[in-house]
């Protein structure tokens, strides 16, 4: 990690990776695929799930308890797979709600529709 005094005020800035903890939201991955991480451990910000996407999977590996339902704007996505994706239309509210699970993280994997294409 490096330090820098770019202002000349004898105030050094530390550059490098920083972890704020409890991070949630969209993490861009290669190409048009993305992941949305939902934190079950406490206060969730009102982060809305992206719209005009196809959900291709839900990863519950790091969840304490059993998640029995997961919906995005009322659309059930818990059973989404690559072979049977679940579409989240642009008019969807994007509000993510879950039933079950007491702690940990749910990771929702999705594919973004290309420009000019609307998910049905």
Does residue 8 surpass a pLDDT of 70? no
Q: What is the pLDDT of residues 47-68, one digit of tens each?
A: 789 999 999 999 999 999 999 9
Domain count of the fold of the chain: 1
Residue 61 parent element (H or E): strand 53-64
- Please check whether residue 20 lies inside any domain of the structure: no
Q: How many percent of the chain have pLDDT more than 70? A: 71
| Nearest 10 degrees: Cα torsion 57, 63, 69, 74 | -70
Does residue 1 surpass a pLDDT of 60? no
- Please check whether residue 83 lies inside any domain of the structure: yes
- Please check whether residue 120 lies inside any domain of the structure: no
Are the beta carbons of 51 and 86 closer than 8 angstroms?
Answer: no
Q: How many percent of the chain have pLDDT more than 90? A: 45
* Domain span holding position 69: 25-112
Total-model pTM: 0.72
Does residue 17 surpass a pLDDT of 60? no
Q: What would the mean pLDDT of 78-84 be, rounded to a whole number?
A: 94
């Amino acid at each position: 990690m490096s330090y820098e005094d770019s202002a000349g005020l004898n105030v050094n800035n530390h550059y490098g990776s920083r972890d704020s903890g409890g991070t949630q939201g969209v993490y861009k991955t290669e190409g048009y695929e993305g992941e949305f991480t939902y934190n079950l451990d406490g206060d969730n910000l009102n982060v809305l799930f992206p719209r005009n996407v196809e959900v291709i999977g839900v990863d519950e590996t790091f969840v304490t308890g059993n998640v029995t339902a997961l919906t995005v704007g009322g659309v059930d996505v818990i059973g989404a797979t690559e072979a049977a994706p679940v579409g989240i239309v642009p008019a969807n509210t994007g509000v993510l709600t879950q039933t079950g699970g007491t702690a940990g993280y749910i990771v929702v994997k999705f594919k973004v529709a290309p420009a000019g294409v609307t998910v049905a």
